[in-house]
Every structure is written in structure tokens, then in C-alpha cells.
Amino acid sequence: MVLIAYVSSTSKAPAPEFTALAEKNRDNYLFGITSDPQAIKAAGVPTPAVVLYRTFDEPTTAFPYPVSSSKVEDFENWLNELAIPILGEVNGDMYEIYVTSGRPLAYLFVDPSEKKTQDYIDASSLWLPSIAASFIIQNLESQLKYPYDQSKVIEAAAVSAMVANYLDGKLMPKLKSQPIPETQDESDVFIEFYAPWCGHCKRLKPTWDSLADRFVDAKDRLVMCVSTFYDGLLSYAFCLFKLAGSRDFIDYDGGRSLESLIAFVEEKAKNNLTPKVKAPEQEAQATFAKPSEDQDEL
């Protein structure tokens, strides 16, 4: 995006306020200012004018309020609103922009034209349904979610009515609960809910991999899992811990450093996750055998 100010003088209003705006937001947007008559004529705008040029939605948008009397905050609020596409693909870059906008988000889930694979373990064994909402509204402030009825076909009129009900405060959020499993395993379970477009998830991945390496010798007592997008969650990267034999999950709300994660696992785990000490003669062998009952103890 590029924001250009067309002025008759670079020393008179709105030039000083526009210059201050550019200095404040120079890391996020491109700015330009001109008093050249030929450039102003080519742009086809009166002076003074501030015009935003972008590659999405309306390519050219002029500042709609009195330009000469506007302050930095006025330009900034207008610019931040127009910096967010009305409809765009949610990815690592755009997700941060959408989240910081402070506005409710509406997601539309469609089948990707090209299936992208992620190196993760399917968490279906942890009783998490794989069906995701086809359309959902999320209030970022309250972290409540309002999913479209999955049993119905998506239609423009139905989605429009749903959005209208949300704006009128008539739509009820939906919080999901998971079915109680019939059996429980003997392993502790630590699971991260991962969304491919979430920057937090991408930053956590190397640490999560290191955590798995840290407890690799306890893989028969600790299961490390990663699950992709699930519409019943409040945020990403969201982590849950389940004690061996328990039906309850514990929310992880600590730091995202490797040390913090290790401390949490060691504190909460029901199983002893200390690596088993190998005898010198055992380390030289490729396999380990369980002593029979008739063997004498040393």
C-alpha cells in the first residue's frame, strides 16, 4: 500500500501532519508527498488530497474527511481500517494483521485446490472430531466463536442473516465439549493445537520439536501430539495436557520457552519421565531383554 499527499505547499497543512504520520508508520506502509502541478493533474485530484493506493479491494481511495484540519490520529485510524482486506486468505502474515485490527473475524473454510501436508500426528485417537465449521465468526476480544450450522448448505442469504444476528447481539456462541472416552491409556499426553496460518504456531514448532526430543526416551510413557485447526478452541497455539488414566485435560498457560515447557511436563506428568539408566554392558547391545524369573539378582 502507498499513501500519497497532494498539496500546494509542503510547509502548510496538511503537510506537517502527513509527514508526522509517515515518520510514525514508516515501517508498515509507504508514503509520498508532492506539490508538483503535473503530478497532481495526472492524479486527477484537488489539492489538498490524501489518496491511498493498494492492490486489493478498491485500488484507489481518497481520504473522505477535511484534509487540512485532520490530525495524525485521523489519518492513522482511516489508514488502519483500509489496510485490512475485506476478504483475504488467512496465513501467517495476514493473521497478525487481522488479530490486531480488534474487529470480529468471519472465516470461510473451503477445500484447498492443492493439499498441503504438515508433519504432525493425527489426534483423532484423542477423541477430537475432524469436522470443522464451514463458516464461523470469531470475536477476538471475548474469544467466543459463532459457527454456521454444519448440517446446512452455505448460502449467501443464510450467511447474511447470521452476520446480521451477530451484529444485533442475537447470535449465541457455541462452546464444544468432547465425548468421554470408553478407555484410558497409561501414557501422559501433551497436545498442541496448530493452525498453519498462525504465526505463534510457527514460532513454537522448533521448541515443540526440541521438547519431543527431550522426552524421546519416555515415548512409552509420554505421547506428544500436534493437531491441526479445530473450531472449538479459543486460540492458537493452544496446548493441553492429560494425565495418564485421567479423563481431564489441563490448560497450559505458561511461557513458550523450552525450559518452561519441560518444567510443566515434569511437574504434571503422572509417569516417571526420567530416562532409564542403561548398564554399561547393555549400552553395547542393540536390544534389551527382560530378565526371566529364574535369573539370580546381582
Domains and CATH numbers, the chain: 2-83 (3.40.30.10), 92-168 (3.40.30.10), 188-268 (3.40.30.10)
What pLDDT is stored for residue 254 in this prediction?
86
What pLDDT is stored for residue 197 in this prediction?
65
Taking CA atoms, 174 is separated from 86, 98, 146, 222, 297, in Å, by 25, 22, 6, 32, 60
What pLDDT is stored for residue 119 in this prediction?
34
Long-range contacts from 270-275, C-beta under 8 angstroms, 24+ separation? 270/188, 270/243, 270/244, 270/245, 270/246, 271/186, 271/187, 271/188, 271/218, 271/221, 271/222, 271/244, 272/221, 273/188, 273/215, 273/218, 273/221, 273/222, 274/218, 275/217, 275/218
Successive 10-residue mean pLDDT values, the chain, 298 residues: 95 96 93 96 95 93 95 94 82 68 77 43 38 72 82 88 93 68 71 73 86 86 67 61 84 88 90 66 46 44
Run of H or E residues at 250: strand 249-251
Residue 124 has what DSSP assignment?
Answer: G
Q: Computed from CA positions of residues 46, 47, 50, 53, in that sequence, does the dihedral angle turn out positive or negative?
A: positive
What pLDDT is stored for residue 196 in this prediction?
65
Query: Around 46, how many Cα atoms within 13 Å sit in the side-chain half-sphere?
Result: 5
What pLDDT is stored for residue 37 in this prediction?
95
What pLDDT is stored for residue 112 in this prediction?
53
What pLDDT is stored for residue 154 in this prediction?
84
- Whole-model pTM: value is 0.50
Amino acid present at 112: P
What pLDDT is stored for residue 240 in this prediction?
84
